[in-house]
Structures are given as C-alpha cells and as structure tokens.
A and B are shown apart, each in its own frame.
Chain A
C-alpha cells in the first residue's frame, strides 16, 4: 500500500500544516541541511514504531520524547500532529499532547504498525551503523526480517528453562553430595563394586540378625542398624565407653584438613592469575575506553578482556575450559569442607555422650585440657560459610589430640568392641552408598530433563540455521546483483551474507582483489561500506515487494562519489520501478541527476525552502529546482547567492546537454568531467537555433524567445556569475537578477503547457524528442 499524502503540523520542524502530496508516486525531494526533510521520515518512523523515533532517544528527550517531537515554538492553541493517507484512502491520524502522549485514530485499512521499519526506512546513519555492528548485532537486526524471530524467542526460552531446571532442582548441590558419598565409599571399600558391598552387608546381617527376614541391601542395612544400636544399648557402661572411644579414634582429621588445604592451594593457583588478569583488564580498559570500538576489537563476555575478533572464539573456549577447571576445584573444596564438618559433628556428638563424661574430665586434667573446651564451643556448620587457615590449624590441633587420646584409652578395649566399632563404620558407609542410588537416579532424571530441553533448543536452533541459510541465499543473490549494479567491473565481488560457525551471528563476506574476506570491515572504505549497507537494505526491501509498501531513503548517498550515486539511479530504475520510492537528499547535484534521469511519468520532484524560523517551519519551494537555496543567501551574502546559481547551472546544463545529445569537443580524462556551464550553454544556444522548436498552431517554429532567455542567462553568468565565484563584488539586485535569469533559462527546456521536460517522450521517430503534449521538441544531432 502506497502513501498518498503525508501531512505534518507542529511535528518536529513543521509549523502550520505542510503536506507531501505523494499521490502514490515515487518522489525525489531536495532540501538543504535543516530544511525539514527528516521530519517527514520521522513521522513514518513514529507511526511504525508506535510513538518512538530511534535517533531521538536520549536522556534529554523525555519519556515520550515530548521534548524532541513537538516544534519548540508550538502555539498553545495548536496541536502537534501528523496524518498519513494511504492509497486506499485509509488514514492514520496521530495527535501528540504536550506531555508526549499520543492519540491515534485509524480507519480500518492499512496498519502501519505492521510495517517493518528496517525494510521501509533507511537513513544514512543507520547504513553506517549496520555495517559497523558486530556479527551478533547484525543477527539481532536481521533475524526478525528473515521471519525467524519467533523461533529465536522459543530457542532462547528453552535455553533459560534448562538453566532454571538446574537451579530449581539444586543439581550442583546434589552432585556434590553424591561426590562426597563416592569419596567415602572409596575410602572404606576401595574399588569394590555394589555386589561386593552387598555381600559384606549380607555377611554382617547374618552375623547380627541370623534369623532376620529382610531382603535387599537397603532393608538389611536398616535392620542391621537397629540391631547394632540395640546391642550397643545393651552393653555395660565400660564397653559403651570403649565403643564411643573407638568411634572417636577412627576419625581422621589430618587427612580431611589436608584435603581442604590441597583444594585451597589449587584454588589459589587458579584464582591468582585470574585476578591478575582482571587488574590488567582494568588498567587497559581505562586507557582503551575511548577507542576500543573504533579499534575493531570486541569485549570478551567471559572475562571483559578486549580481544581481536579473529581470536574471539579460541579465547572464549580457553576461558570456558579454565573456568570449568576452577569450578571443579571449588566443588572438590566444598566436599572436603563438608567432610571436616561431618567429622567435627561426630566428634562433638560422641564427646557429649554420658558414657564419656569421666574420660572427658580425665582429658581435661592433662596437658590437652583445652581440646574438650574448644570442641564444645565449636560450631561446625559455621565453617560452610568460611573456613580460614587459623580454623584449620585449630582443628588440626584439637581434633587429632582428642582422637589420639581416645585411641590410647580404647587400646585395652575388648576385641568384640573393636569388631563392633569396625562393623558399624562399614554399615554406615554401605547404607549411604545404597541410599545414594536413589540420589544418583534423581540426578540422572534431572540431567535427562535438562538434556531433553537442550536437545529441543538445539533442534529449534538447527531449524533457525536452516531457514536462515535459505533466506540468506536468496537475499545474497539480490545483494550480489545490486552490488554489481552499483560497482560494475570493480575488483570487489562475490558479496554475500553468511552465517559464521557460532550461533546467533550473521556477517558479510566478499572477495577483495581476488582474496576472500570474512568482513567488509577488513578492507572496504567508508564509502564502500555505506554502499554495501544500502545494497543490503535494498535487497531486504526487495523481499517486501509483494506488499507494495513505500521505500524511504533519507540522505543515503552522502559518502558516495558521483559515479556511484549515478549507479543508484540505475538500480532504482531497474529493480524498484514497480515500487513507491521516496528519496530525500541534500545533494543538489544528485537531485538534479534524479530529476533528469528518472522517468517523469512515475517520479515527482519537489524542493524544500531553506529553513528560516520554527514559526515558519517547513515550506515547499514553488519550483522543482534548487534555486531557492541561492535566494536564501541574497540578503546577507549576495556573492554566495550568485555563486550558487552558477553552480546550479553547471550541473543542470550538463545534464540537459547529455539528454539532448549535444556534441562537444573531445576532452581527455577528468577535464571532460570538469566542464563548466559556459561550454554547455554556448553549444545549446548554437544548436538550439536549428533544433529547438515550439508548436504554434499546427506548425513548429524555432523557439526564439527561449533562445533569447538562454542568451540573457549567458550574458549575466559571464558578467555576474563568474564574478560571484571570485570576489564579493556582486550586489543583491545583481544576484537576484542572475538567479531569475538562470531559472528562466532552465524553463526553456520545460513545456509551458504540460510542464514536462523536453525529453519526456520520443516524437515517433529517432530524430526528435519532445515533451508530453508535443508542444516543444528538439531535433537530435543537428547542431
């Protein structure tokens, strides 16, 4: 759906209503800097984005951009508003209150909110920004255009869901607990398998519960536990004391503390370089902050370190590997700390038993008297939060002291007590091993769930990649064609979008003088990059063709030279002839080229007056040429006004001469491109005597009035135009007369009846070219 009209009132640069009567046609619109071109584009963006304009986003523009969108001098009784009328006569009316709140009314019909901004509007800064962006940012920008946004959302949700399952299920903690049991199993049973452990429990079961009914290792362990407890309860006080002391004597504090120290040492080894690196990053970040982006480097998301793009992948892998090692050491330390805590708890619980009261008092009377007091005050659980070296020293001092004392005191214990104590230790470990099977199964189930969600996410990602490749292949075909059209015969070729190996990335590859390049940033100049960005936008926009939506280009040729600007005209003619294209430009020469080269049946041209005050706002010039730019200088700088008029004639007359196939003497190389108005005008006057004819009644006759206007312009250009270029001696009336004369001269080549140019149509044979109504004609090649 095309745009029929676009009306602005007190919106951005506009004051009283100003309307672009597009009538569904394509338009070339000229305006010098600040004339108000972008205000029209802003209204389209505001409509598409539901009330936001990207380039106005800043801390100063206000929540609803209310400080930036209304004209600064909007009278109290006027509204900030715009209206877009579409080809089907449906309208979008937007009124914006002083606080930025918008009121939208739109009849059923076109929903501009459904339009894709990136396929509708292209501004110069967006071209440069896209090419400069990283491949991840390109991916984010292009993915919605490929129609894969929903798949991306689903894949990302699945990834986060897998993380959430891991957190909810406390998977790392469960894995840690299982690891602790496995370590204890290894200590007690070595490399024995489950069957061997079950056999040992079965043997103990027959020893302590000879007639027991239990089946299964876990049930037997539980019954055996009760049987041993009953047996211990039934023992004499002396034997109970011996049993408790044996239990104390079995505690290995030295090994547990050594394990914590070993893990601490490993951590220190791993963490120290990490910290050193962070400090380096901080120092270098400070120095590089201002230029990192420009230097083509990227910040590693794993460590924050600036790295060259080519090294990024390898660097991230190394970081992940190193962090993986550190995490493993952390887990190992956590298990070692848990072991120390468990042993301290056992020590404290055993020491608290009444049967050891006398022994505790006896130890208190020896050289080790501080140890019982220390263990009584000790809070083992507090070591989970922090276990410092001084704590380890205290544990190492008091724990083994009490263990040794207990071992000494239990040396004369009866043999059956020693056996009972040993059997109890085997039973406790075996029972935890049997119970851990359920824990292992739960971990397996959680890991299975996570693996399933991850597999699903990977499947969606594979689909995204497959679809992206298909779309990219199509767009790349168009991109390549457009690049060739803009840069024919140049040694930069095979330009295409591609998906790098990693997910969520898109970049542009090309062949530069025979060498393959992974990014345009490596070799292309700014002008070429912008040209490439324009090609990508146009290739994407071409895929929008079925919807017949307008294509709006705002000053996109700023950094292109004249040759390439000319090619864009060809590209628009060949690829977008069936689309409504609205081009805004401040490039006077290019605007003149557009006017002369694009088909006047499909294209309209308008010029904006230079901006004067917010109260006057945006105004259309009554003419399609850009002489109003020159007029704007009449008051303060008449010499500049005269010079502008001369420059306009340089380009306009060159284009007219080309259209009319006027023959000029051969000039070699650049001199041919630097011809001035005088050469063209003299030739046009000379040829015009034979070639320029105007219809009078039913006959054609030489357009003598037109030739006189050309001659008048020539005289004034010689005397005042040239003087304006070299000195400030031209006064205001002279410059005004010069401008008027130049305008009249150019009007000669436009029919006063149909208002179409002289070269609008051929006159039925190859010899003549004429305007639309046939009132004005030119005879080719007869000069």
Chain B
C-alpha cells in the first residue's frame, strides 16, 4: 500500500492505523529481514522468530531484561545448527 507523503506524516490520531499499514506491514518486516540476511546470512528459524517479534510486540514498548534474555536464549538455540546448512 503506497500512501501519499502527507498522509504518512500525519499518521497520528486516526492515522495510527496508517502508520501501521505503511511501516509495519508483514511485507515491510519481511523486506527488512531479507535485507539483513543479505548482509549477514542466518538460519531461517532465527529470521522467522525475529520477524514474528517485530510483527507482534518489539515495536510497541521497550523490552524488559528478562524478556530480552528469554528471546536471546531462543535465538541462540534456533541458531544452533551450523549456518552453512541452514542458510537459504
């Protein structure tokens, strides 16, 4: 969805929805993840997990330390297989 520039600027109020549509669509997140994977190849499971976090909650509030530790552990565990085998 491409919105006029002014609509993107005036995102607040009723346009919070506009913001979500134009910035945090799954397409947008997938594009960001793909770009990062081009720069640094990682496993599909790691990419999928981060994509899910970005889509669901990572943008909404600052994470607490415990949440960060849990997520870091999950990602380390997901990154367990050798990268060469798991990379796309």
Contacts and interface: CB of A to CB of B under 8 A. Distances in A.
B42 A449 contact: yes
B76 A459 contact: no
11 contacts: A147-B12, A150-B59, A153-B60, A157-B59, A158-B58, A161-B68, A165-B76, A168-B73, A452-B40, A463-B32, A547-B14
> By DSSP majority rule, is chain B's interface helix, strand, loop, or mixed?
helix
Contacts of B47: 452
Contacts of B36: 452, 455-456, 459
A151 B59 contact: yes
A318 to B, nearest CB: 28
Contacts of B6: 474
Contact of A544 (B10, B24, B75): B10
Interface string A725-755: 0000000000000000000000000000000
B12 A445 contact: no
Nearest to B34: A459
B9 A147 contact: yes
Given A150-B24, A456-B32, A459-B35, A445 B79 contact: yes
A3 interface: no
Nearest to A474: B9
B83 interface: yes
Interface of A: 114-116, 145-147, 150-151, 153-154, 156-158, 160-161, 164-165, 167-169, 441, 444-446, 448-449, 451-453, 455-456, 459-460, 463, 467, 470-471, 474, 543-547
Given A150-B24, A165-B76, A459-B32, A452 B59 contact: no
B82 A441 contact: yes
Interface in B6-42: 6, 8-14, 16, 19, 23-24, 32-33, 35-37, 39-42
A470 B5 contact: yes
Given A154-B59, A156-B62, A165-B72, A449 B46 contact: yes
B40 A448 contact: yes
Contacts of B23: 150-151, 463
A108 to B, nearest CB: 14
B12 A154 contact: no
Given A115-B13, A157-B68, A452-B46, 16 more contacts: A147-B12, A150-B60, A151-B23, A153-B62, A165-B76, A168-B76, A448-B79, A449-B42, A449-B76, A449-B79, A451-B40, A455-B39, A456-B50, A470-B8, A545-B10, A547-B14
B48 interface: no
Contacts of A145: 12
Interface in B34-88: 35-37, 39-42, 46-47, 50, 54, 58-63, 65, 68-69, 71-73, 75-76, 79-80, 82-83
Most chain B CB within 10 A, of A441, A453, A463, is at: A453
A114 to B, nearest CB: 6
A156 B35 CA distance: 18
Contact of A455 (B5, B40, B72): B40
A310 B19 CA distance: 36
Given A153-B60, A449-B76, A455-B40, A164 B5 contact: no
